[in-house]
Amino acid sequence: MSRVLVTAGAHGIGRAVAETFLSEGAAVHVGDIDAEALSELARSGANITSTRADVADADDVDRLFDDARCHLGGLDVLINNAGIAGPTAALQDIEPPAWARTIEVNLNGAYLCTRRAIPMLKEAGGGAIVNVSSTAGLLGYPLRAPYAASKWALIGLTKTLAMELGPFGIRVNAVCPGGVSGERMDRVVSSAARSRGVTEDQARQGFLRQVSMRTFVDVSDVASTISFLCSEKSTNISGQAIAVDGHTEGLSLS
């Protein structure tokens, strides 16, 4: 039975990932900064243990991994899913604290968690890490510089870790979701509409026109891809950045 830790695992993509692994017989522990989402997860009756933690805080991350070891007994899979959208604005209008917070959560959080996970995965004799990047990590993204920068950096981290950890039987991949249906995408659309001076419907259609399949993806699409990358069916897949996005043709202001 796999032992899985998912960051930001109490809602959205993370919750779908946690529930997918659980349905496949894994033991799952999640970390999340959202106390309300963690409470709702507990009320759901799902057999998933949890820790309230901010992945950008080293002490919180230490507590998260100590709890994971206590509940799971070890670790086979780490899903670095925690991330924030960051500000929507031209670079010169982004204040340093907003830039820094985006990098701290999206990139430094993955570093802090992976740093703690590696000894546990080596102890287990191998395993898998999946970093949740974005199509913004493959393309430029106007008005979202800190987000795009952090997601590009995650792919560089993924490829480097695949080289470092491959000899220990640890595979490292990145998944790059496009627009994912749900509240977070609704907020992105609303923010884009305000920044561009258009209606929310116009902003939404603008996003969809840049996707070959003209649709947003579902959290289950992302979760199933992550599950595959951690399974025995992908034992020779490592160092890859795999888009789950209906083929994003570009991210522009149009």
Cα–Cα distance measured from residue 234 to residue 171, given in angstroms and rounded to the nearest whole number: 9
List the 27-32 sheet strands across, edge first: 48-52, 27-32, 3-7, 77-80, 127-132, 170-177, 241-244
Q: 181: closest CA among 138, 160, 142, 211?
A: 211
Cα–Cα distance measured from residue 136 to residue 157, given in angstroms and rounded to the nearest whole number: 15
Centre a 10 Å sphere on the Cβ of residue 147 and count the other Cβ atoms it contains. 23
Active-site residue identified among 147, 176, 188, 251: 147
Least confident of 41-45, 140-144, 194-198, 222-226: 194-198
Give the model's pLDDT for residue 194. 85
Instruction: Judge contact between 121 and 76, C-beta under 8 A.
Output: yes
Active site residue 141: no
pTM, full prediction: 0.91
Centre a 10 Å sphere on the Cβ of residue 87 and count the other Cβ atoms it contains. 22
Q: 5: closest CA among 181, 226, 228?
A: 226
Give the model's pLDDT for residue 253. 55
Q: What is the mean pLDDT of residues 173-192?
A: 83
Q: Which amino acid is at 24?
A: E
Q: What is the mean pLDDT of residues 132-142?
A: 93
Q: Cα 84 to chain center, whole Å?
A: 9
Which domains does the chain carry? 3-179+219-240 (3.40.50.720), 181-216 (no CATH)
Residue linked to tokens 């000894």: 119
254 has a pLDDT exceeding 70: no
Backbone angles phi, psi at 176, to 5 degrees: -120, 90
Give the model's pLDDT for residue 189. 78
Give the model's pLDDT for residue 74. 98
* Run of H or E including 80: strand 77-80
pLDDT in tens, 51-105: 999 999 999 999 999 999 999 999 999 999 999 999 989 999 999 999 999 999 9
pLDDT band at 205 (very low <50, low <70, confident <90, very high): confident
Supply the DSSP string of 7-72, one letter for each residue.
ET-SSHHHHHHHHHHHHTT-EEEEEES-HHHHHHHHHTT-SEEEEE--TT-HHHHHHHHHHHHHHH
Q: What is the mean pLDDT of residues 141-170?
A: 97
179 has a pLDDT exceeding 80: no
* Mean pLDDT rounded to a whole number for the chain: 93
Least confident of 22-26, 127-131, 178-182: 178-182
Give the model's pLDDT for residue 1. 74
